[in-house]
Amino acid sequence: MSLVGKKAPIFSAKAVVNGGEVVDGFSLEQFVGKKEVVFFFYPLDFTFVCPTEILAFQEKMNEFEERGVAVVGCSIDSEFSHWAWLNTEVKDGGIKGVKYPLVADLSKTISENYGVLAGEYDFNEEGEAVFNGAPVAYRGLFLIDKNGVVRHSVINDLPLGRSIDEAIRMVDALQYFEKHGEVCPANWKKGDDAMTASSDGVAEYLAKTYDK
């Protein structure tokens, strides 16, 4: 079930912040009323596609910060695994230099509550708890507004890396709508014309854009 339009699930977990500091009780609630949040999940530390995404987010951090947006990553690894990966040089497969928080979801409850866990718990014939599927998170991304409401989400299968530029585009669209009250049409990007959510507004936009 989609979380769009609903309050983002609340959690409190261990995380590694500022590239090496382990903290207890990290929560997205600290940003409510202050910042939008791009909260993304990735499958595992020390893997292949994951560092490309994590480093790509870091490369774009200035753009997120200019927009007043917090970026937070999460996987089912422990805080110790996060710490080790954050302290491994990029040339050795690490992500050293990443400064935004990485949340530890060792229990997999955060991933489950956000609907990105690539499998599910069940019971076998002996009544023992078993896990069916891959016990990791899909590549989920959630744009959460200042009220703590999910406004956009996308979930990719494990082999499919995400576009960081698309995440920025969605931030721009949300902030534009909240500032101007105009809606953002297909392929809209910052600086483009938007349109009013009315029959006349749509007709005017369509005529200007497609009736050529």
Cβ neighbours of residue 205 closer than 8 Å, sequence gap 6 or more: 185, 193, 195
| Residue 211, domain member (yes or no) | no
| Residue 184, domain member (yes or no) | no
CATH number, residue 91:
3.40.30.10
Instruction: Name the one residue in this structure whose structure tokens are 């491994």.
Output: 88
| Residue 7, domain member (yes or no) | no
How many domains is the chain partitioned into structurally?
1
Closest CA to 164 of 26, 82, 52: 52
**Catalytic option among 50, 69, 98, 118:** 50
Band of pLDDT at residue 131, cut at 50, 70 and 90: confident
pLDDT tens, residue by residue, 21-54 = 999 999 999 999 999 999 999 999 999 999 999 9
Q: Which domain covers residue 139, as residue numbers?
A: 13-162
Catalytic site includes residue 74: no
Q: Rounded CA gap, 169 and 99, in Å?
A: 22
| Residue 52, domain member (yes or no) | yes
pLDDT tens, residue by residue, 156-187 = 999 999 999 999 999 999 999 999 999 999 99
Closest CA to 114 of 8, 190, 211, 5: 8
- Cα–Cα distances in Å, from 113 out to 1, 43, 71? 10, 15, 19
| Residue 208, domain member (yes or no) | no
